Amino acid sequence: MAKNKKKTGIFTIILIFVLVVVVAFSGYKIVDIITDKDEPQNVPAPSKKTVTVDGVEYFPRQDITVLMLMGIDERGPVVQSNSYLNTGENDMVALAVFDEADKSYSVLTLNRDTMMDIRVLGIGGKEAGTIFGQLALAHTYGTGLEDSCENAVRTVSDFLSGLTIDYYVSMNMDAISILNDAVGGVKVNVVDDFSQVDSSIPMGEVVLNGEQALNYVHTRKDVSDQMNVSRMDRHTEYMESFVSAFNSKVKESDTFILETYDDIAPYIVSDCSVNSMSAMLNRYADYTLREVVTPDGENVYTDAYMEFYADKAELEKLILNMFYIKK
């Protein structure tokens, strides 16, 4: 039975990571997915290029594995678009960076409003240049399946100076409601006024049902200052409570994880095979969380939407610290 628990535990890290921005992940495993590829497809090859900063040479680290996680702002199960444009935006993007040197992992979260050069797919799904826009738009180029995820991966890789991203997993947002109800609801302390969004969410302590949970972690408009940073703070609290409720359910039932994954599988797209994830489980199961990092920058209001500009100098330092080592 213990062996089965370890095998089914492979699902948990993705359930949690893709649910919201990761802040409380500790000791969980990786998920089984819906594609059959043993190796990541169409992602940047490992970089061998050194960079020089202030006279110091840095070499890309070869002892890390990077898993990109995307929460897609799309209702219902994953469906294929009839063209190479779709409506599913990247509502949440996080990179889990597993460090084999010290047996730890870090999480880099990227604001969906971050302005960057986004790869564009044209006729036949072929690359047709770039546009400058919000990170959220990267997934909208493609059919909404693997090609959209791969486009987002390439866009983020470009933004992070050619970082090699080994694997990706995306999940449509309706899975949040399913996961929330699977654990019997999630308790939070509501400090923002949701009356214009969902009148059933009162101020103060409340156990959220599925639809409430989706509104709580997803909605920005007409809540607080309407900024993504504020929403990410709600993600933090929700995640801590979700993990606690999830733990309790896992202890109560040996089949809970399998049953829950079956429910959300139609909402997931990934390039990871069962073999790949099993290998990651064996390698990273005992790694400890080192840090959760978000690039510094400036929020700018426009007539149409919010824009976030990462501080270039600070971003360069972050990239060097996480993904490079002194030569």
- Write out pLDDT tens, residues 244-267: 888 788 788 877 877 777 788 888
**Residue 205 C-alpha from the chain's centroid:** 27
pLDDT for position 281? 62
Residue 193: which CATH number? 3.40.630.190
**pLDDT score of 40 more than 70:** no
> Percent of the chain having pLDDT more than 70?
78
The angle at the Cα of 88, spanning 83 to 90, to the nearest 5 degrees, equals 130
How many residues belong to the chain?
327
> Percent of the chain having pLDDT more than 90?
35
Of 23-32, 104-113, 195-204, 263-272, the poorest mean pLDDT is in: 23-32
pLDDT for position 282? 67
pLDDT for position 242? 83
Cα dihedral across residues 176, 178, 179, 184: positive or negative: positive
**Residue 265 C-alpha from the chain's centroid:** 16
- Give the list of residues 6+ apart from residue 83 with CB closer than 8 angstroms, or none: 143
270 sits in which H/E element = strand 268-270
| More confident call, 54 vs 35 | 54
Residue 269, phi then psi, degrees to nearest 5: -130, 135
pLDDT band at 46 (very low <50, low <70, confident <90, very high): very low
Q: Are 138 and 79 in contact (CB under 8 A)?
A: no
Q: What is the mean pLDDT of residues 218-243?
A: 72
pLDDT band at 31 (very low <50, low <70, confident <90, very high): very low
Domain hosting 109: range is: 2-326
Of 84-88, 94-98, 278-282, the poorest mean pLDDT is in: 278-282
Q: What is the mean pLDDT of residues 213-241?
A: 74
pLDDT for position 18? 39
pLDDT band at 42 (very low <50, low <70, confident <90, very high): very low
Q: Are 235 and 216 in contact (CB under 8 A)?
A: no
Q: Are 211 and 261 in contact (CB under 8 A)?
A: no
Paired sense of beta strands 167-172 and 268-270, if any: antiparallel
| 324-326 sheet: strands from edge to edge | 51-53, 56-60, 324-326
- Give the list of residues 6+ apart from residue 10 with CB closer than 8 angstroms, or none: 29, 30, 31, 32, 277, 278, 281
DSSP string, 76-100: SS----SSSB-S-EEEEEEEEEEET
Share the mean pLDDT of the chain: 79
Q: What is the mean pLDDT of residues 24-50?
A: 39
Q: What is the mean pLDDT of residues 92-118?
A: 90
pLDDT for position 274? 58
* Number of domains forming the structure of the chain: 1
Nearest to 276 by CA among 24, 67, 6: 67
**pLDDT score of 22 more than 60:** no
Model pTM above 0.85 = no
Q: What is the mean pLDDT of residues 286-294?
A: 79
| More confident call, 27 vs 177 | 177
Tokens encoding 226 = 């309407």
**pLDDT score of 309 more than 90:** yes
Q: Are 62 and 46 in contact (CB under 8 A)?
A: yes
* Identity of residue 207: V
pLDDT band at 272 (very low <50, low <70, confident <90, very high): confident
pLDDT for position 275? 65
Nearest to 175 by CA among 262, 81, 112: 262
Tell me 45's DSSP state: P
